[in-house]
Copies of this chain bind each other. A is one copy, B any other.
Amino acid sequence: MDKLYSLYYVLELAGTFAFAISGATAARKRKLDIFGICAIAFVVACGGGILRDLCIGALPPAGLTNWHYLVVALIATALTVGFFSLVQRLNHPVLFFDAIGLSLFAVTGAQKSLAYGYNGEVAVLLGITTAVGGGVIRDILLTRVPIILEKEIYALAALLGALIVVIGDHFKWGSGGWVAIAALTVCFTLRILALRYHWDLPTPGKNDTGSEKHN
**Which residues of A168-215 are within 8 A (CB) of B?**
200-206, 208, 212-215
Is there contact, CB below 8 Å, between A60 and B65? no
CB distance from A106 to the nearest CB of B (A): 14
Measured between beta carbons, the chain B residues less than 8 angstroms from A205 are: 28-29, 31, 84
Determine the chain B residues whose CB is within 8 A of the CB of A5 once the complex forms: none
Q: Does A145 sit within 8 A of B, measured CB to CB? A: yes
Task: Please give, as numbers and ranges, the residues of chain B lying within 8 Å of A56 by CB-CB distance.
Answer: 59-60
Which residue from B30, B36, B145 sits with its C-beta under 8 Å from A143?
B145
Chain A residues 26 to 43 lying within 8 A of chain B, measured CB to CB, are: 26-37, 39-40
Among residues 15 to 60 in chain A, which have CB atoms less than 8 Å away from a CB atom of chain B? 25-37, 39-40, 50, 54-57, 59-60
- A84, A118, A125, A144 — which one has the most chain B CB atoms within 10 A of its CB? A125
Q: In the complex the two chains form, is B34's CB within 8 Å of A155's CB?
A: no
Min Cβ gap A204→B in Å is 5
Question: Which chain A residues numbered 116 to 172 have a C-beta less than 8 Å away from chain B?
Answer: 118-119, 121-122, 125-126, 136, 140-146, 148-151, 155-156
A-side interface size class: 35 or more
- Cross-chain contact A149 with B215 (CB below 8 angstroms): no
Nearest neighbor of A144 in chain B, beta-carbon distance: B143
Q: Which residues of B contact A143 (CB under 8 A)?
A: 140, 143-145
| A59 neighbours in B (Cβ, 8 Å) | 55-57
A55→B65 contact, CB < 8 A: no
Are B60 and A122 within 8 A (Cβ)?
Answer: yes
Which 7 A-B residue pairings sit nearest by Cβ, starting from the closest? A36-B149, A57-B59, A33-B201, A33-B203, A32-B149, A81-B204, A64-B122
